[in-house]
Structure 1
Amino acid sequence: MTFARHCVFDGSSVGSEEWCASLDEKDKGDWSANEAADYAKYCVF
């Protein structure tokens, strides 16, 4: 239940459409190394 609530149903979790959109709005110079790697993994199609 906890996993589902935080990892499956949370629209702001890493890799979700909302998370990708929020990074698109953020200046790429302000991205952390983890954000850049996660963006490449989950948001680039």
Structure 2
Amino acid sequence: MRCLLISLFNWFKFYFLISTNVCDLVRNLNFQESDLIFESFFHVFGS
């Protein structure tokens, strides 16, 4: 049970790191189209 919690925590940490990095990348690119694509992408996978 403890191992499961630890792996879940690590997975969320990993996912959070990736999502914030992707958001920063998109912001730096400043492409409105890719912003919309990533917004819908995170909307689908975030809910």
Higher RCO, 1 or 2 (CA under 8 Å, sep at least 6)? 1
TM over 0.5: no
Largest Rg, 1 or 2: 2
Q: TM-score, normalised by structure 1?
A: 0.37
Q: TM-score, normalised by structure 2?
A: 0.36
